[in-house]
Structure 1
Amino acid sequence: MGVSVTTSLLTAWHAAAVILFLLIIRGAILRKRRGPMPPGPVGWPIIGNALDIPLNHSWKTFAKWGERWGNLMSVVLLGQPMVIINSYKHAYELLEKRSAIYSDRPHMVMAGDIVGWDQILVLLRYGNQFREYRRLMARVLGSRKSVEEFVPIIEEQTAKLLARLLREPASDLPSQIRKMTGSIVLMISYGYEPQENDDPLIRMADEATEQAAEVAQPGAFFVDVFPFLKYVPSWLPGAGWKRKGERYRANMDQMSAVPHQFVKDKMAAGTALPSFTSTMLAGSLAPDEEYRIKMSAASIYSGGADTTVSAELTFILAMSLWPAVQKKAQEELDAAVGHDRLPTYADVVQLPYLNAIYLETLRWNQVVPLGVPHATLEDDVYEGYFIPKGSIVCINQWNILHDPEIYADPFTFNPERFLSGHGKEPELDPRKVAFGFGRRICPGIHLAESSVLMVAAMLLSVFNIKNPLNEHGIPITPQTAEHTGGTISHPAPFTCTIEPRSDKAKALILALQERS
């Protein structure tokens, strides 16, 4: 048995060496034929730049490299070319104007073949199935008007958050935000109202999306470079990554199947609430049609569960760090809404300063700092540089949104930059960057906007947010505010004081608490 395993491993490594050699030769031939790839740091033989890219906060490394090699760079990861875009100009020219070439996703063996996230829209390869998912989701999320149907859900769940924060002011704020956001996406996707404490579907979504962020990082797993390793038996010593992938696959399958079956059972009993899934399942469907509905709903569910949480926590941190901004927003709310009721969505869309705060929240801490990697569907030549078919293309959204040539004083939280007046034009709308580019733009852009704006308006109308402390109890300042690494970035753990603004505000919240 031992000899057999050793022989198999030696054969596998021999095959890997041959594949790498062929990739290097092919790359050299293509570069000679079509021109050089964009410049970048010189890598090591065979492994290329695989050891140069950190797994956390790699966008800062790419930004630093850009100072030397320019805003269009390339590296090679064990034979796999990767193009890094550090500027809005190059991102727009390639991903918008040439979207027919740049709309694919990389073939991620760990995240896709093993864990199954390539069946969720965010990592789905470009093609007919991708277009069908987008068509289905556009029916409920495709415009501000279509999302307005879900405003009562957003308002109700945000009001419940206010009541919980008054009842448990020292509670875990990220958990409270996750519960609210999870409730919104579950009700929209499945008509499922989560239970008050430790709901299994919210827990399932949180776990699955955290795992997706882990496995989707380029270069995080050796199997993404050597795809044949996916055939390694999970019992083999050293194959812990394979066992992890199988566990993650089971979680992903559950995340899509359990709520889908919940809706089918409710429909059979005649008790289903209106939702994306119940609407789409009406009528006779072929199995492949039902599968697309199931995975489209899971895409809404998983896509909104963590990204919106990040934006809402960033907003709360920013308000505690910039009290003058908070005060100005509260003055606008008081003038437009008064003190006798909570703001509604109809109020929110007419509050320019609050809307500017939302835009600055997107810009100040990018939820997905490197976006989700694109891949090229064919060879391309751009500004004299050759970009081969199958290249991974990373957009350094963090760098674009902190570019001093676009945003004055980019590390300061300043909503005024998005307001016109006094002879100046607003700076670049960060939605043009933060939600992706071209045919891969996030389909939940309008839902995310409605959700974050309602949280901002309702929180500031009745609460004061102040005194941010890190997890060690040390005061945070704008200069020391940190954000996590990984695919989705959150504010680093912090605590803050959230107190009612007045007795009248407290009475408004108590009235909500009695109804919830």
Structure 2
Amino acid sequence: MVTLIGITWPNLLCLAGVGVYLLTRVFKKKNPAPYPPGPQGWPLIGNVLDMPHIKPWLTFTQWGKKYGDISHMEVLGQHIIVVNSVKTALNMLDKKSNMYSDRPVFPMGGELVGLKYTLGFLTYGDRFRQYRKTIHHIIGTRAAVEAYNQIEEVESHRFLKRVLERPNQLQAHVRLLVGAIILRISHGYEVKENNDPFIDTADRALDRASRATAHGAFMVDIMPSLAKVPEWFPGAGFKRLAREWNMIVEEMVAAPYQFVKDQMAAGIAPKSFTSALLEGKTLTEEEDHVAKWCAGSLYSGGADTVGPFLPMTLFPDIQKKAQAEIDAVIGPDRLPTLADRASLPYTEAVAKEVLRWNVVSPIGFPHRVTEDDIHDGYYIPKGSLVIPNIWFMLNNPETYANPSEFNPERFLGKRPEPEPRTVCFGFGRRICPGLLLAEASVWMSTARSLAVFNISKAVENGVEITPEIDRSTGTISHPTAFKCSIEPRSAKAIGLIEQDYGINYGEFKLYGGHLVTLRVAANP
């Protein structure tokens, strides 16, 4: 370890950061109200040691039980507010969205890895609003999403065939299904059955993005000045990681965009979100950059979801009830379609419970406050980060009876429990613009999988294997790998899976006639 007068470089950097922090404390103004309660910090460094790195939603849940719906910590001068209740989240992030819709600068994930150009990481301003408006035309209304029903049906059918042929590669099939739908819409690209380069790149990019934005994973997020140190500097290994990850993120966005350009130049490009942005236009360098990243936001934002296979493995009685409903309404001679959704209320409830029981983003992305605020008598200073603990909101036993139990009936009857869509897709002006498409995709994969497959625990050496309910840490969280048995329900089910599902996408009319335009706004 390189030292300077007996002090290691990392320690010297930390001391410098502490010095800056100490100066800010000296000149700190008196607060107009108390901060929300929270863990007691240490002098100078605040709550640096309290910041959870692994599955932070569990630590935040314990804070909620101890301190209430809203808690506070301070890390080297950065105020962090954790919200543990839906009511508080709605009152802050929805009702006061004019001051709670910004994003913080993410030194590692946003600046160094390059995610700052995507919709999810954009600071609040003209460009953010234009991205949202443009994407809203494509997937923001039920009428717009219904225009993609054929894509959903074709790709879900291909998914069933992949599962039938290679059930031991389930996780890969789920990722391919979601990527296939969104790539078709965003870039007019039809994925390859095996080792698709765009899907492989997206998998790697989203994994790096999740790791790069995990709370407290990198010291540079706590001390942004570290971003300026060169790669060769002792302790700057994160800079090398960031450079490698940036190349993957750039490829995820640039490669499909160039594909559309090449197809358009050859006169064979199918209609897509990107081709509509480019058609008949000569773009400036800035306009080209914005179009590429707006399309990439649509793709990267939709390239992740969950499936019903783990809960169906663990709760076989739920599976039987859903299959009975599908058999009674649909029969054995065809697959469910999105037109059947209203006729299958129990299956709809299963899809809702999939979203609640295994939320993809347990704590979402933090919001940044742009003005000082007094909320419920507590002082929320300008620049604070607000983290909604979405996992606990969907697992609060006061809201959801026996939350660890997968129980679709909680959404049925005269007194249904709150729908997860009000929470799991985020809040306020930062709510996921693709939530309607995501819901449709989850419903379709759930209904069709249950129509043709029996899902059960795997058996090895005569012993049933019960999967553990565990999930990865990071901004994006998945169930850890698990084994299950997937078998076709009947010979007729096999016939439905193997029947021809080809559709001429060229006959498909995108966007319900909407003209997609993109006005380039100045950098916010």
- Structure 2 contact 154–501 (Cα < 8 Å) conserved: no
- Structure 1 contact 35–384 (Cα < 8 Å) conserved: yes
1:271 alignment partner AA: I
Aligned to 1:483: 471
Match status 1:255 vs 2:252: yes
**Aligned equivalents of 1:127, 1:333: Cα separation in 2:** 46
Aligned to 1:245: 242
Q: Indicate how the Cα distance of structure 1 residues 197 and 3 shifts in structure 2: closer, same or farther if over 3 A, else same.
A: same
- Structure 1 contact 75–83 (Cα < 8 Å) conserved: yes
Aligned to 1:507: 495
Q: Indicate how the Cα distance of structure 1 residues 228 and 393 shifts in structure 2: closer, same or farther if over 3 A, else same.
A: same
**Aligned equivalents of 2:426, 2:437: Cα separation in 1:** 15
- Structure 2 contact 10–235 (Cα < 8 Å) conserved: no
1:386 to 359, 379, 383: 379
Q: Which has the higher helix share?
A: 1
1:405 alignment partner AA: E
Shift of 1:237: 2.7
Match status 1:20 vs 2:27: no
Aligned to 1:79: 77
For residues 34-57 of structure 1, what are the alpha-carbon distances to aligned partners after superposition, in whole Å with 9 as ceiling and x for unaligned?
121100011222322222233121
2:133 to 121, 132, 135: 135
Moved more, 9-18 or 447-456: 9-18
The aligned runs of 1:223-242 (5 Å cut-off) are 223-242=220-239
Aligned to 1:290: 288
Aligned to 1:496: 484
Shift of 1:347: 1.2
Shift of 1:13: 5.2
**Aligned equivalents of 2:444, 2:212: Cα separation in 1:** 32
2:429 alignment partner AA: R
**Aligned equivalents of 1:112, 1:469: Cα separation in 2:** 44
2:150 to 129, 149, 152: 152
Moved more, 205-214 or 344-353: 344-353
Aligned to 2:93: 95
Secondary structure of the residue aligned to 1:278 is helix
**Aligned equivalents of 1:63, 1:474: Cα separation in 2:** 33
Moved more, 119-128 or 485-494: 485-494
**Aligned equivalents of 2:476, 2:363: Cα separation in 1:** 9
Shift of 1:19: 1.5
Aligned to 2:511: none
Q: Indicate how the Cα distance of structure 1 residues 159 and 14 shifts in structure 2: closer, same or farther if over 3 A, else same.
A: same
**Aligned equivalents of 1:501, 1:463: Cα separation in 2:** 5
Aligned to 1:374: 367
1:211 to 190, 208, 211: 208
- Structure 2 contact 186–274 (Cα < 8 Å) conserved: yes
**Aligned equivalents of 1:451, 1:417: Cα separation in 2:** 21
Secondary structure of the residue aligned to 1:51 is helix
**Aligned equivalents of 2:366, 2:353: Cα separation in 1:** 24
Q: Indicate how the Cα distance of structure 1 residues 88 and 8 shifts in structure 2: closer, same or farther if over 3 A, else same.
A: closer
Moved more, 261-270 or 216-225: 216-225
Shift of 1:257: 1.1
Shift of 1:468: 5.2
**Aligned equivalents of 1:450, 1:256: Cα separation in 2:** 24
Secondary structure of the residue aligned to 1:238 is coil
Secondary structure of the residue aligned to 2:465 is coil
- Structure 2 contact 213–474 (Cα < 8 Å) conserved: no
- Structure 2 contact 395–404 (Cα < 8 Å) conserved: yes
5+ residue gaps, structure 1: none
1:173 to 154, 164, 170: 170
Secondary structure of the residue aligned to 2:387 is strand
Shift of 1:512: 4.2
Moved more, 120-129 or 219-228: 219-228
1:173 alignment partner AA: L
- Structure 1 contact 469–476 (Cα < 8 Å) conserved: no
1:440 to 419, 430, 442: 430
**Aligned equivalents of 2:294, 2:498: Cα separation in 1:** 38
Secondary structure of the residue aligned to 2:49 is coil
Shift of 1:369: 0.7
**Aligned equivalents of 2:459, 2:260: Cα separation in 1:** 42
The aligned runs of 1:32-47 (5 Å cut-off) are 32-47=30-45
Q: Indicate how the Cα distance of structure 1 residues 126 and 148 shifts in structure 2: closer, same or farther if over 3 A, else same.
A: same
For residues 213-247 of structure 1, what are the alpha-carbon distances to aligned partners after superposition, in whole Å with 9 as ceiling and x for unaligned?
01112221111122111111112232111110011
1:269 alignment partner AA: A
For residues 447-499 of structure 1, what are the alpha-carbon distances to aligned partners after superposition, in whole Å with 9 as ceiling and x for unaligned?
111111111111111111111589xx87226xx42222221121121111111
5+ residue gaps, structure 2: 505-524
2:47 to 49, 60, 68: 49
What do you get for the CA RMSD once the two structures are aligned? 2.3
Secondary structure of the residue aligned to 1:394 is strand
**Aligned equivalents of 2:464, 2:113: Cα separation in 1:** 39
1:400 to 390, 393, 406: 393
**Aligned equivalents of 1:339, 1:25: Cα separation in 2:** 74
Aligned residue pairs: how many?
A: 499
Aligned to 1:465: 455
- Structure 2 contact 112–243 (Cα < 8 Å) conserved: yes
**Aligned equivalents of 1:54, 1:14: Cα separation in 2:** 22
Aligned to 1:329: 322
Shift of 1:199: 1.1
Q: Indicate how the Cα distance of structure 1 residues 381 and 475 shifts in structure 2: closer, same or farther if over 3 A, else same.
A: same
**Aligned equivalents of 1:17, 1:508: Cα separation in 2:** 65
